[in-house]
Amino acid sequence: MSKATDTWVRTRAACSKLVVLNQVDSTNTYLAEDTDLTDYSVVISLDQTSGRGRWGREWISRPGEGIAISVLAPASGRVDAKNLTLIPLVVGASVVSVINASSQIPVTMKWPNDIMVGEKKLGGILCEVRRDHKVVVGIGLNLEFKGAQPSARAVSLSEMTSVNARTLDGLVAEIVRQLTVNLNGLESEQKQLVTEALGTINRFVRVQIREGVEWTGVALGIEDSGALRIRRDDGEEISVLSAEVQHLLQIGTKPW
């Protein structure tokens, strides 16, 4: 492909190797299996047919309506599959800061992996640790719904900012650049970045740690590990490393 027709020219310059796939089952699976790719290689596709989300859920996007991005992050001594809480938060905060730089409508994060516009989901993060301890950072973003809205709780980037080949290339390139910096940052800097991006802090939340085990309370902040600190309605303060969180209506807000 000549430079003049390279749609992903900026992204290519921001990463070590770029793989653009017309169609793929899952960009995360592709990156998990291709052990020849070096750190900060990036796999992208606008047509991911078996996208995966957290807790074994599917990440569904109609062809061309969303972008799947996977970035290979270097192995880190402090990370394994069980304590993989801070990295997805740093990834989400990086995505939030990049989008907010070009959008009039504020984007925030819902702990631990959702990119939100208000209470609607714009995207999600799925980070997975490979056998060689490198981390596959997966980002899915809704770009533009061409048919019916897939869900009343979904929102696309085109509702907030202009989305075309040039702007998308700029966005992905900047996300990769931010990841390169932020994933290598000090834990204290990472925590601050995440705290600034998290819309969950100070919210009333319902937290489900597994089927049938849930509490409501106020989200107070995050621990160094990325765990969410909550003051439960019974007054006890707890930290959760992995859970589903629902933002509840604030006192005084109306449900319309």
Binding site for ligand BTN (CB under 6 A): 26-28, 48, 51-54, 57, 59, 68-70, 113, 124-126, 138-140
Nearest to 140 by CA among 119, 127, 125, 152: 125
Shortest reach from residue 245's CB to ligand BTN, in Å: 12
231 close to 218: Cβ distance less than 8 angstroms = yes
Cβ proximity to ligand BTN: between 141 and 227 the closer is: 141
Shortest reach from residue 89's CB to ligand BTN, in Å: 13
Cβ proximity to ligand BTN: between 86 and 126 the closer is: 126
Shortest reach from residue 210's CB to ligand BTN, in Å: 16
Cβ proximity to ligand BTN: between 48 and 182 the closer is: 48
Shortest reach from residue 153's CB to ligand BTN, in Å: 12
Residue nearest ligand BTN by beta-carbon distance: 124
Cβ proximity to ligand BTN: between 79 and 250 the closer is: 79
Q: Which helix (H) or strand (E) holds 219?
A: strand 213-222
Q: At what angle do helices 165-182 and 86-100 cross, to 10 degrees?
A: 140
Please state whether 98 falls in left (phi above 0), alpha (psi between -120 and 50) or beta: alpha
17 close to 35: Cβ distance less than 8 angstroms = no
Percentage helix, strand, coil, to 5, in the chain? 25, 30, 40
Shortest reach from residue 79's CB to ligand BTN, in Å: 18
Shortest reach from residue 244's CB to ligand BTN, in Å: 10
Cβ proximity to ligand BTN: between 211 and 234 the closer is: 211
Cβ proximity to ligand BTN: between 47 and 238 the closer is: 47
Q: Which residues, at least 6 apart from 54, have a Cβ–Cβ distance to it below 8 Å? A: 113, 124, 126
Query: CA angle, corner 143, sides to 183 and 117, nearest 5?
Result: 70
